[in-house]
Amino acid sequence: MSRSWVESANKPETDFPLTNLALGAFSAEGRGRRLGARIGDMVADLHCMAESGLLDSLDGRVRDALAGESLNAFLECGSEGWHSARALLLSLFSGATSILRDHKHCSSVMMPQWGLSMRLPCEVGDYTDFYASLNHATNVGSMFRPTNPLLPNWKHLPVGYHGRASSLIPTGTPVRRPQGQTSATDEGPPSFGPVRLLDFELEVGAIIGTGNQLGTPIDVNRAWSHIYGMVIVNDWSARDVQKWEYQPLGPFNAKNFATTVSPWVVSMEALEPYTEPALPRPEGDPQPLPYLQCGRDRAVPINLEVAILSESMRQKGIAPHVLCRTNFREMYWSFAQMLAHHTSTGCNMRSGDLLASGTVSGSTKDSRGSMLELSWRGTEPISLPDGSERKFLQDGDEVIMRGYCQAAGLPRIGLGECRGVIQPCAG
Ligand code: MN
C-alpha cells in the first residue's frame, strides 16, 4: 500500500496512515482557529496550505472552505468536493511526490499533533442520539423493566431522541459531575443533589455531509451518500436522573450536561474499503418496512474499546485499564436506516449535524459499552488495577475511547481517541 513521506504515517500501529486523512479543527498559538488534515503524528494546517497555493487545483469553493475555521462549509461542498480534496491530499502526502515535502512553506504547514488544542470538527446545529444496539437495548430494558425489556416498536424503528448540540464538547474537555433530581423509588419523593450514578456510553457518530430540504425525506438507498464521515462519541449519562425522569418523554437532563466528540472525522471514503455487507437480521425477526429497507446496506466494522484511568492509577503511573472491547458491525440498525427514519417525516438535516448510534454493546459481558451494563446496575462491581472497585464513575476517573478498522492487505485506520475526565460537582 502507498507510503507517505511523513514517516509516522507508515507505522503499523498508527490510526492515521496516508489513506485516512481525517479532518479536524484546532487552535494553535499564533495561528488561531484552523482546519487540519491528520497524517501520522502530524497535522497539516489547511489554511496555510491554501495560502501557499498548494490547494489551487481545487475548485475555489472547496479551497476556501478548507481555509476556514470549521468543517461546515466543506461539508456543504458535497461528495465531488470531498473526493477532490481527498485526492489532492493523498497525492501531496504520498511518498511518490515531493511537491509539499520540498515546498518552502512545508515547515509551517506541518505541525506535530501534540501541540494543538483540538476543537469540535464542525458547528453542530442539531444532534440526535439513537438506541440502535439490540444487546444494549435488551440489557438496559431488562434492568429497568425486567418483565418487558424490549418494547414492541424496537425492531420496527430506530428509536432515538433529540439531543443537545450546545453541550457537545471536544475530546479532553473535563466533565463536571452534574446535580440532578433523583428518587430512590419509582413513586418518589425525589431529592436534588450531585448525581451518583454517573456513566459513559460508547457510541459512534455520523457527521452529516449534505442535508435535505425540509419536507423532502432522504431515501434509505441514498442515505449513506449524505454522511461525510464518522467520529467516536461519549454520551455521558446520569443513570439515577434517567431512571426517575425518562417516562413518559424519554431522556432529558440525564443526557444534556455533556457529550464528548473525538476530534478527527474519518471520511466514509476512507472507511469504504473496510465496510462489509450489513449482517442479516436474526432468524424470526420482522423485516423492516419498505422505507427502511436498504438495498446494499453496509456495516462498518470499527473495533471499539473503552479504558478507564482513575486518579490513583494516574498518580501511581498505572496504564489505563480496558473495560470493554466491542465492534460496531453488530448494530441492529444502520446509519442509513437511522437517517431515513429521522427524515421520513420531512425533517431536514443540515451539514454538520451529528447522529450518534446509541451505546455499542456486544453479546458478551466484556463487550458492553456502559458502566450500567458492565457492573449490571452496580450489582457486579468492576475491579481496577489500583485495588479500587467501580459500579459507576468516580471523580477523577478519565474515560478513554478508541476505535479502528482492520482488514487483510490494508493498513489499520483509526478514529483516534475520545477522552474526558470527571471533575467534582460544583454544587
Ligand atoms: Mn446514548
Model confidence pLDDT, tens digit, residues 214-271: 999 999 999 999 999 999 999 999 999 999 999 899 999 999 999 999 999 999 999 9
Residue 390 confidence (pLDDT): 98
pTM: 0.97
Domain stop point among 119, 138, 160: 119
- 367 touches 361 (CB < 8 A): yes
User: Which residue, among 306, 328, 335, 308, has the nearest Cα to 129 in the 3D structure?
Assistant: 335
Dist CA 136 CA 155 (whole Å): 13
Domain stop point among 119, 135, 160: 119
pLDDT average, residue stretch 383-400: 98
29 Cβ neighbours under 8 A, 6+ residues apart: none
Same domain, 383 and 296: yes
Q: Which residues participate in catalysis according to the annotation?
A: 136
Same domain, 134 and 178: yes
Peptide linkage before 248 cis (omega within 30 of 0): yes
Dist CA 294 CA 310 (whole Å): 43
Residue 27 has pLDDT above 80, yes or no: yes
Same domain, 115 and 169: no
Got the DSSP string for 35-69? EEEEETTEEEEHHHHHHTTTTTTS-HHHHHHHTSS
As given in the structure block, the three cell numbers for residue 70 are 470549521
Helix (H) or strand (E) holding 139: helix 134-144
Residue 202 has pLDDT above 70, yes or no: yes
The verdict on residue 2 lying in a domain is no
Same domain, 371 and 243: yes
Same domain, 62 and 139: no
Partners of 403 in beta bridges? 304, 416
Model confidence pLDDT, tens digit, residues 30-53: 999 999 999 999 999 999 999 999
Compute the distance from residue 289 Cα to the ligand 1 centre, in Å: 24
Compute the distance from residue 393 Cα to the ligand 1 centre, in Å: 16
Same domain, 109 and 164: no
Compute the distance from residue 20 Cα to the ligand 1 centre, in Å: 26
CA distances, 222 to each of 127, 134, 207, 226, 340 (Å) = 21, 24, 15, 7, 9
The verdict on residue 1 lying in a domain is no
Residue 209 has pLDDT above 80, yes or no: yes
Residue 302 has pLDDT above 90, yes or no: yes
Same domain, 100 and 187: no
Average model confidence (pLDDT) across the chain:
97
Same domain, 103 and 147: no
Question: Within 10 A of 228 (CB to CB), how many other CB atoms are there?
Answer: 27
The verdict on residue 383 lying in a domain is yes
Same domain, 113 and 136: no
Compute the distance from residue 131 Cα to the ligand 1 centre, in Å: 7
Dist CA 319 CA 148 (whole Å): 40
39 Cβ neighbours under 8 A, 6+ residues apart: 4, 6, 8, 9, 16, 18, 20, 21, 93
Dist CA 41 CA 37 (whole Å): 11
The verdict on residue 77 lying in a domain is yes
Domain stop point among 119, 146, 180: 119
Same domain, 239 and 328: yes
Does the CA dihedral 180-184-189-193 come out positive or negative? negative
Compute the distance from residue 173 Cα to the ligand 1 centre, in Å: 18
Dist CA 45 CA 235 (whole Å): 30
Confidence of residue 296 (pLDDT cuts 50, 70, 90): very high
Indicate the burial class of 2 (C-beta count within 10 angstroms; 0-12, 13-18, 19 or more).
Answer: middle
Compute the distance from residue 257 Cα to the ligand 1 centre, in Å: 13
Domain count, the chain: 2
- 229 touches 251 (CB < 8 A): no
- 215 touches 346 (CB < 8 A): yes
| Parent domain of 32 | 7-119
Dist CA 218 CA 321 (whole Å): 41
The verdict on residue 309 lying in a domain is yes
Residue 427 has pLDDT above 90, yes or no: no
The verdict on residue 287 lying in a domain is yes
The verdict on residue 328 lying in a domain is yes
Compute the distance from residue 162 Cα to the ligand 1 centre, in Å: 11
Residue 19 confidence (pLDDT): 97
Same domain, 223 and 323: yes
CA distances, 136 to each of 123, 141, 160, 235, 363 (Å) = 29, 8, 13, 14, 9
Residue 185 has pLDDT above 60, yes or no: yes
Share of the chain above pLDDT 70, in %: 100
Model confidence pLDDT, tens digit, residues 368-391: 999 999 999 999 999 999 999 999
Q: Return the CATH number at 386.
A: 3.90.850.10
Residue 2 has pLDDT above 80, yes or no: no
- 208 touches 226 (CB < 8 A): yes
Confidence of residue 206 (pLDDT cuts 50, 70, 90): very high
Q: Return the CATH number at 36.
A: 2.30.30.230
Peptide linkage before 189 cis (omega within 30 of 0): yes
Same domain, 97 and 132: no
Residue 145 confidence (pLDDT): 85
Supply the Cα-derived Rg of the chain in whole angstroms.
22
Residue 1 has pLDDT above 70, yes or no: no
Distance of CA 73 to the CA centre of its chain: 20
Compute the distance from residue 360 Cα to the ligand 1 centre, in Å: 9
CA atoms within 13 A on the CB side of 87: 10
Helix (H) or strand (E) holding 303: strand 303-309
Residue 15 has pLDDT above 70, yes or no: yes
- 371 touches 238 (CB < 8 A): no
Compute the distance from residue 370 Cα to the ligand 1 centre, in Å: 10
Residue 174 has pLDDT above 60, yes or no: yes
- 14 touches 44 (CB < 8 A): no
The verdict on residue 109 lying in a domain is yes
Compute the distance from residue 212 Cα to the ligand 1 centre, in Å: 24
Model confidence pLDDT, tens digit, residues 257-293: 999 999 999 999 999 999 999 999 999 999 999 999 9
